[in-house]
Amino acid sequence: MAQCVQSVQEFIQDTFVPMVAVLCSEAADGSTRKNNLSFAELVRPFCRLTSEVHMRDPNNQSHVIKNLRISVTSIVTQPPQQTTIRKLLSEVVSASQPAEGLVANVITAGDYDLNISDRSVKASVPWYNNWKDTLTQLSSSKFHAATTPWFEAYREYFFQSMPPSDHEFLHHYLACMLVVSSRDSDPMEQFFKLSQEQHRIQHSNDYSYPKWFIPNTLKYYVLLHDVSEGGEERAETVYEEMKHKYGTQVCYLLKFNSRMPSSGADEQIPDPWSQYLNRNNLQNQEICDGFVPPASKSKECVIGVELDGLDNSINDGIPNNFKSHPFQGSAKSRELDGPDQAKPVEAVNTMMKQNSSGARGLSLTLTDHDRIRQFIQEFTFRGLLPHIEKTIRQLNDQLVSRKGLSRTLFTATKKWFSGSKVPEKTINELKNASSLLYPPEAPELQIRKMADLCFLVQHYDLAYNCYHTAKKDFLNDQAMLYAAGALEMAAASVFLQPGAQRQYPTHYMETAIQTYKDLCKNLVLAERCTLLSAEILKSQAKYSEAATLLIRMTSEDSDLRSAILLEQAAHCFINMRSPMVRKFAFHMILAGHRFGKADQRKHALRCYSQAMQVYKGKGWSLAEDHINFTIGRQSFTLRQLDNAVAAFRHILINDSKQMAAQQEAFLREYLYVYKSVSQLSPEAPLPQLPLPYIKSSATRVFFGHDRRPSEGEKQAASHVSLDQEYEREASQQWKELEERVVAIVNKGAIPQNFQHTQYCLNSQTDNLRFPVAVVEEPVTVEVVFKNPLKVPLLLSDLSLLWKFNFKDFMKGTEEDARESISNEKDSHMKASHNIFTEVINEFQISGEETKTVRLKLLPRLTGELHILGIVYNLSTLSSALKQDGLDSSSGTQVAANCLNVSSPSLAKSGIKPQATHNLHQPSSIDQLEYYHGLSWTEGKVPHGLSVRGRQDLEIQGPRLNNTKEEKTSVKYGSDRRLDPIITEAKPLLEVFFINFPTGLLCGELRKTYVEFVNVSQCPLTGLKVVCKDPDFFSFGSKTSALTPLSPTASENCSAYKTVVTDCVGTSSAITSSVSPADFGMDSGNSRWVIDVPLPDSVLLPAASVQLPLWLRGPDEEGVHEINFLFYYESTKPHSKSSHRVLRHTAIICTSRSLSVRATACRSNALEAEAKSDIDNLLLFLDVANINTSEAGVREFHIIQVSSCSEHWKLQKCINPTEDKDAKLSSRERAKLCFRATRCQHSEATSSSEGRYIFADIVLGSEQIISATTPCADFFFQSCNAALSRKAALQTTMVPSRPKTGHVTKLVQKCNEVDLNIIVLWKAYVVEDNKQLILEGQLHVALQSIGKEACSLPHVQEAQEMVLLKFIRLEQPQLPARPSLEQLSHLIKISLHYPEYYDHSFHQKSLCLVPVTLVLFNCCQIEVDIIVDLRHKATSPEMLEVHGSFTWLGQTTYKIQLKGQEVHTVALKACFVHAGVYNLGTPRVFAKLADQNVQCETSQQNSSPALIIINSV
């Protein structure tokens, strides 16, 4: 149980004390009223003796009485009504509330730190740090304030209000004080009248109340003398007369009111009556303010009692002229001889207010306090205790004489308990004998009377013996009410015995409680017994048994009693050796539930709040919802609106598992409470709304206009939008592109204040800097809402909350003096002269839905904008949820009268009007209702209720992890995405692509148009486009506009420049030369950065221009994502960055077209006479149709083959087809052979150095001019791409590669072929029953002789993982030497002979044929050559072929050839018979003349040289 101020022993001793009645004359009552006190109230603080008292027992043994207290009360002749008692008990509990603003007590129980007490702790040690040791101290300590003062107040008033009963004598009067004033005309006569009145009350049959202990009641005569009025001699005279008549032992002269009116008002006199009377006066104050006396009660006033299960019948009148019981609530409780009818309500209230508000004891001095204390001691020592001692002796003598036993009860005790013991029967075996009544002179009652007297004077051993004896007699007679009383007091006597050897009989108390409840049906006595037993068990640390008793005493007849006991049971659970925290919380909820039904809203709120400490954060969402809902409703009823809003808010923000109807009811309750709070303070700032959730980290901010939709064939640039998903890799690519163009614009260096352009900011972007926005361009904020409830939400008038600071960035800051503005005050503002705010009228979020909303701001001035949050009206959608007979609005009855109470008296008293409990859930005994005992009106919350509030957008920046301090702590950086800087106007570009394709064949060429529009009021210049794939598009060369379109090209809508050939069917090449500078090859810009050829390089405001754009499909099939970054600048200077960018991502899907493979080899055609045609090549093209007919391609036509090189050119086609162009159907392959020669000296002069020679071999009917746009553009771009790939490959190679020497370079150069082949084709496609002609070009770059090149990009295979090897650093390597492969191609060999030779072997047996061997040095340096004509058979077949002929003459030649020199050797072959012979047997060895090489390298032989010898 909770800790109490008194110990258990003190509590029981103060509960059962000797009762003394008081009868006062009118004059005596008037004297005491000067101090605003009655006589009984005057002496109450002094009724405890400060010294020990000795008295003798019947065995003449001295007995010590310590700390004795007596109870002095005025005589009342009417017993209190139970309804009034319960009402006043409720008020006592209600008036005793936890003190506010004090330090809370914290109990540490397991993993819980519970704020249990609401009072301050006066101990020096921390509360419950070691709860097991502290608990023992608290049980006996007086230095701790009570943890539940309302329980002690309830218990005190409960025991005070208990009426005396016939089966016990503890509350019967032992004596009566007759008080007369010395101001009376005849005091002795007044004493006589009062004595006669007391005798009449005690012995007349007209009065059954109060009860008197014995017929011969002690009468004590008190003469009051008011010192302030004088007449002390008369008082002494009267006192002497009293002693002479009544005796010295029963008379006393009490002098008081010694304080004169003229004494100083500043003198501080203590007020000992406050601790006894303050709660009564507080209660009376509430009665005066709110309650109407019983005589004038209306129907509404009685309902508070009816709801507690009590009878509302109250006796309106008082049948005699004596005071009614103080708990009766009548207006006559202050007069002795008042009228029989009740006073008017106003008079009663006035008197009670005066009595409660006036100061007490103003006429008393400290000497008077001592006189009163001395009076009580004299009365006790000389009057009361001798009277009790005498009575005990008389009762003992009567009992001994009637029983016929030994002289005293002490000597008979052993005999009584040892022999003839009657077995006790159980309660179930006993019949209901509660109606049995003993006569007053019955021996059983005399024993009980003696036991009670002994108990009152702390003679607990003798009391226990008497109780035990009486208990046996009562059980024998089956007088169960008497037996239960004896059992109860016997157990208490055992407990109070100092050093008792007997064990506390717990079963006595349990039997007594069960008898009171079940047999006697007396719940008041059962409650008293329960409270006593629980306190005793608690003092013995038997908290579990105490809790069981308290819980067992709860019932439905009294909600207040059940609430008090359940709360104490909860404290028992928390004070156990192993605290049972969850049981504590559960029983606190039960207590709060019963407190609510008993109209104790503050206590109900406190109980639920304490239980919430256990259930909070444990995942018990349903329990949390119930507790928070009850806290919210009770707080709202108590006008604690902030707490109510917080409680309902907690229900809504939790992950609720309630049904949809329940959640909707919770939401409407919250809206109504919130509305009430806002109405009380309409000027207050908008508070935070809990719904819907806002995922602040997911907030995105977009700067700029929305993307224009596509219009037919006109497609707008994709740019950046909120509909796009953020990709970190793509963002990094855009950043690289922007840095590339900025570096080129700034001559290779990026400015230090460069800030990457970010149009869309999110949680993954770099938000450390303030973003930049532009005047007259919208700022869009995307907010992610999540509805955690299962019911839809409706947000109306939704807009952004912002603050704006004016600032002119072009001027100094000292000139900026304008104040900042905000829309916080006027959140409904849709537009202003400075910031236009978009307002969304309605925004609906379904149950458990995550939904985004986009809100816009349009700044009109430069400055600093701060987006604070969002503001909106929150409401529920109108829906009639009536399922299974459940009305969703039944739980939304709201206490409107708590805010607008028509009657002030009702508002202060807390009386509730009659309410019908319409619950959400069906009530049951074992289930708590969500809605109970609360004063809700019949009005219901409308479904369309709407409240206005805000939610702040608080975004946490990224965690810092750079420095050591940041790594060892948790620090977060700033996130500036909601704080943009508004700069002055800038140009704004929009780009539209016309007829832009989405699918192309590999190498397909397509001509489109791009439109540039300046939609701002500022001109733009410096337009550039940056792309990582520049070989995908081209704006044309500088000379493309000078090349006229051919008629054929315009008719066929060809993207090429075409010319009809004059000589049809020719296979010779048509050459032309161009400079790479015309196609941007020599510009200082990166190949990624391309200038857009705007007219005059400026695009004026509202102007537009269309430019042609050629596209070429990538050589690799698949889906390609190509990023275009358009860069442009303003013509005016800006405070911030003056450039802007526009992004576009093109998605192109390419499919296969043709595959071209090319191989070059040296031609054998060497003529000694034709010097110009010595160095030529044979070019073999293998063209395959690899299209899978996915695009509907019917066939491909190869219409032209062109070459481009600085040194080589195509000469002619060796095998022209008959149909002019080569047709390739699906999966067909064509082989073409061309002759290529070196460019003549005239074509490679110094003036034309660096120019490229284009040679076109037309296979169709028209020539495509390959040296112009767009063919040449894409060729040079592919060359650039190849060079970039080659450079990137070289940078990734091993750095320890040997250097290449000069000689090696010369050797390599003789094998290199810098020849590029362009294959132009047309494809015939059937689409929608229409035939389309597509055209394109493929590029093949031949690098060396004999090495195959392909138009398809080379796919690098994934390298296998190899083991890590550690190598030793070696000496620098020597320059690399030429390889054997390179040395074997130094000399070009050719044999000239007749293919057929006729000879008559009959005439001449030997046939001699002249053969010429031509040798050509392909290098630029001298070469030593050895020609060996001797046969060397490599295989038997070769031996058979040339074994029958021989070379005549010299068999070995040594020759030295200079660079590019031709040498001929005349040979003769000798044949002996006809046949086919291979003349290619000469072996040629060569070595470089300047190299120290011991052996020569064999040169590659030419193809077999066959000769046919015919015999004629």
Taking residues 1433-1451, report their average pLDDT.
66
Residue 924's pLDDT band (cuts 50, 70, 90): very low
- Mean pLDDT lowest for which of 181-195, 829-843, 1117-1131? 829-843
Residue 1083's pLDDT band (cuts 50, 70, 90): low
- What percent of the chain is helix, strand and coil (3-state, nearest 5)? 30, 25, 40
Strands in 26-140 per DSSP E: 53-56, 62-65, 71-74, 76-78, 106-109, 112-115
**What is the predicted pLDDT for the residue at 378?**
92
Mind spelling out the 3-state secondary structure of 1258-1301? ECCCEEECCCCCCHHHHHHHHHHHHHHHHHHHHHCCCCCCCCEC
Burial class (CB in 10 A: 0-12, 13-18, 19+), 1329: exposed
> What DSSP line would sit under 225-250, residue for residue?
EEGGG--HHHHHHHHHHHHHHH-GGG
Per DSSP, the three-state class of 907 is helix
Write the single-letter amino acid at 1229: R
What is the rounded CA–CA span in Å between residue 85 and residue 81? 6
Sign of CA dihedral 718, 720, 721, 722: positive
**For tokens 């009595």, what's the residue?**
355
Asked, as a colleague might, if the bond just before 210 is cis with ω within 30 of 0, I would say yes
What's the Cα-to-Cα distance from 402 to each of 445, 446, 681, 759, rounded to whole Å?
A: 13, 11, 81, 111
Q: What is the pLDDT of residues 534-587, one digit of tens each?
A: 999 999 999 999 999 999 999 998 999 999 999 999 999 988 888 898 899 999
**What is the predicted pLDDT for the residue at 1142?**
92
Torsion of CA 677, 681, 684, 688, to 10 degrees: 0
CB atoms under 10 Å from CB of 1373, counted, come to 10
What is the rounded CA–CA span in Å between residue 1070 and residue 1201? 11
Q: What is the pLDDT of residues 485-496, one digit of tens each?
A: 999 999 999 999
Torsion-angle region of 444 (φ positive above 0: left; ψ -120 to 50: alpha; else: beta): alpha
Is 491:12 a contact under the CB 8 Å cutoff? no
- On the question of pLDDT at 760 being above 80, the answer is yes
What is the rounded CA–CA span in Å between residue 1317 and residue 1233? 12
**What is the predicted pLDDT for the residue at 500?**
67
Q: What is the pLDDT of residues 1169-1180, one digit of tens each?
A: 444 455 788 888
Q: Helix 82-95 and helix 149-160: axis angle, to 10°? A: 160
Torsion-angle region of 1079 (φ positive above 0: left; ψ -120 to 50: alpha; else: beta): alpha
What is the rounded CA–CA span in Å between residue 1511 and residue 1398? 6
- On the question of pLDDT at 710 being above 60, the answer is yes
Q: Give Cα 1253 to chain centroid, integer Å.
A: 70
Sequence-distant (6+) residues with CB within 8 A of 1296 are 1373
Taking residues 243-251, report their average pLDDT.
91
Which among 1114, 964, 949 has a CA at the least distance from the CA of 1027? 1114
- What is the Cβ-side half-sphere exposure of residue 1182, based on CA atoms within 13 angstroms? 10
- Mean pLDDT lowest for which of 89-98, 1065-1074, 1468-1477? 1065-1074
Which among 601, 567, 564, 560 has a CA at the least distance from the CA of 90? 560
Sequence-distant (6+) residues with CB within 8 A of 944 are 875, 876, 878
Q: What is the pLDDT of residues 624-661, one digit of tens each?
A: 888 888 888 888 888 888 888 888 888 887 777 888 88
- On the question of pLDDT at 122 being above 50, the answer is no
What is the rounded CA–CA span in Å between residue 206 and residue 202? 9
Is 1039:1077 a contact under the CB 8 Å cutoff? no
Report which DSSP code applies to 44.
Answer: G
- Mean pLDDT lowest for which of 132-146, 528-542, 637-651, 1295-1309? 132-146
Torsion-angle region of 22 (φ positive above 0: left; ψ -120 to 50: alpha; else: beta): beta
- What is the Cβ-side half-sphere exposure of residue 1491, based on CA atoms within 13 angstroms? 21
**What is the predicted pLDDT for the residue at 829?**
53
What is the rounded CA–CA span in Å between residue 53 and residue 64? 6
- Mean pLDDT lowest for which of 191-200, 391-400, 1442-1451? 1442-1451
Q: What is the pLDDT of residues 404-422, one digit of tens each?
A: 443 344 444 434 443 444 4
Strand partners, 781: 701, 855
Instruction: For the chain, give the percent of residues with pLDDT over 90.
Output: 24
> What DSSP line would sit under 913-931, residue for residue?
PP-----SS--BTTB--SS
**For tokens 């099939």, what's the residue?**
1117
What is the rounded CA–CA span in Å between residue 1166 and residue 1154? 34
What is the rounded CA–CA span in Å between residue 1239 and residue 797? 79
What is the rounded CA–CA span in Å between residue 369 and residue 1073? 133
Name the helix (H) or strand (E) containing 562: helix 559-574
- On the question of pLDDT at 211 being above 50, the answer is yes
- On the question of pLDDT at 431 being above 60, the answer is no
Q: What is the pLDDT of residues 1190-1239, one digit of tens each?
A: 667 888 899 889 999 888 888 888 876 555 568 888 888 888 888 888 88
Name the helix (H) or strand (E) containing 42: helix 39-43
Report which DSSP code applies to 41.
Answer: H
Sequence-distant (6+) residues with CB within 8 A of 922 are none
Name the helix (H) or strand (E) containing 1230: strand 1229-1238
- For the chain, report the end-to-end CA distance as a whole number of angstroms: 143
Residue 1302's pLDDT band (cuts 50, 70, 90): low
- Mean pLDDT lowest for which of 98-107, 290-299, 1014-1023, 1158-1167? 290-299
Average pLDDT taken over every residue of the chain: 77
Strands 62-65 and 53-56: antiparallel
Alpha helices (H) along 96-181: 131-140, 149-160
Residue with more model confidence, 176 or 100:
176
Torsion-angle region of 1491 (φ positive above 0: left; ψ -120 to 50: alpha; else: beta): beta
